Amino acid sequence: MTRLENFISRMTAQRDILDQVCPEVAKMEGLVLELGLGNGRTFHHLRERLPGRRIVAFDRALGAHASSIPEAENLVLGEIRETASRFIGIDAALVHADIGTGYDDRDAVTSTWLPDLIARLLRVGGIAVSGTPLDHPLLQRLPPPPSVPADRYFVCRRV
Ligand code: SAM
């Protein structure tokens, strides 16, 4: 797969998974947390799919398109491992993490702390969606939509 194909496959997986989980999330109380605002494309998608829901976005620095910048109170800048830890116990309905780098060694480091952080951010029954694996005893893996190849993007429920 070329990097272009890989990128397209990631974008498609993000859209299809977020479209799959948002109707369920809409029926659940709780914040939505966007770990890795980036350009703001998935933030924009979530905002459209979950109108009225508070979405708090995290990143090291603001680099989003002008149309996709959260209100100041919903933007948290800094290292996610540290900043999102302050939200532990918030009982989020959905956590979406798109902080993979494409470098296996760096993503392996992220996998040492991200699953536990997400498990502590979510309410029981809440949904985690991530570009990197979420191996954790409290995160039960769910099947992605048929359009998403195995291990392309990960969906879990907090048990
Ligand atoms: N989903 C976003 C979109 O649709 O535009 C793209 C996210 S981009 C791939 C990943 C973002 O996460 C980058 O902006 C990067 O700065 C941020 N990021 C990655 N790891 C981070 C960390 N440990 N702490 C803070 N920000 C991080």
Mean pLDDT estimate for the chain: 97
Q: What is the pLDDT of residues 50-73, one digit of tens each?
A: 999 999 999 999 999 999 999 999
Q: What is the pLDDT of residues 67-107, one digit of tens each?
A: 999 999 999 999 999 999 999 999 999 999 999 999 999 99
Q: Residue 61: what pLDDT?
A: 98
Q: What is the pLDDT of residues 138-155, one digit of tens each?
A: 999 999 999 999 999 999
- The residue whose C-alpha atom lies closest to atom 19 belonging to ligand 1 is 99
Q: Which atom of ligand 1 is nearest to the CA of 79?
A: 24
Distances (CA, A) of 70 to 54, 63, 77, 98, 138: 10, 12, 12, 17, 30
Domains and CATH numbers, the chain: 3-158 (3.40.50.150)
**Cβ–ligand 1 contact at 65 (below 6 Å):** no
**Cβ–ligand 1 contact at 20 (below 6 Å):** no
Q: What is the ipTM of this complex?
A: 0.99
What is the CA(141)–ligand 1 centre distance, in A? Answer: 23
**Cβ–ligand 1 contact at 15 (below 6 Å):** no
Closest CA to 123 of 23, 51, 24, 4: 24
124/153 Cα distance (integer angstroms): 21
Q: Rounded to 10 degrees, what is the CA torsion of 12, 51, 98, 159? A: -100
Q: Residue 121: what pLDDT?
A: 98
